[in-house]
Amino acid sequence: MPKAKQNICPDCGTEVKEPYKTWELVAPFPDKQMRITVTIFGMYECSKCGKKFNGIVGKAKLGAEGIEL
pLDDT(10) > 90? no
User: Structural domain boundaries of the chain?
Assistant: 1-69
Q: What pLDDT score was predicted for residue 14? A: 85
The helix (H) or strand (E) run that includes residue 40 is strand 36-45
- Indicate whether 6 pLDDT > 50: yes
> Above 60 in pLDDT, residue 52?
yes
Beta-bridge partners for 49: none
pLDDT of 5 higher than 70: no
Let me know how long the chain is.
69
Q: What is the pLDDT of residue 15?
A: 86
How many angstroms separate the Cα of 30 from the Cα of each of 35, 36, 53, 57, 60?
A: 5, 5, 29, 21, 12
Which one, of 13, 18, 31, lies nearest residue 58 by Cα? 18
Determine the pLDDT at residue 67. Answer: 67
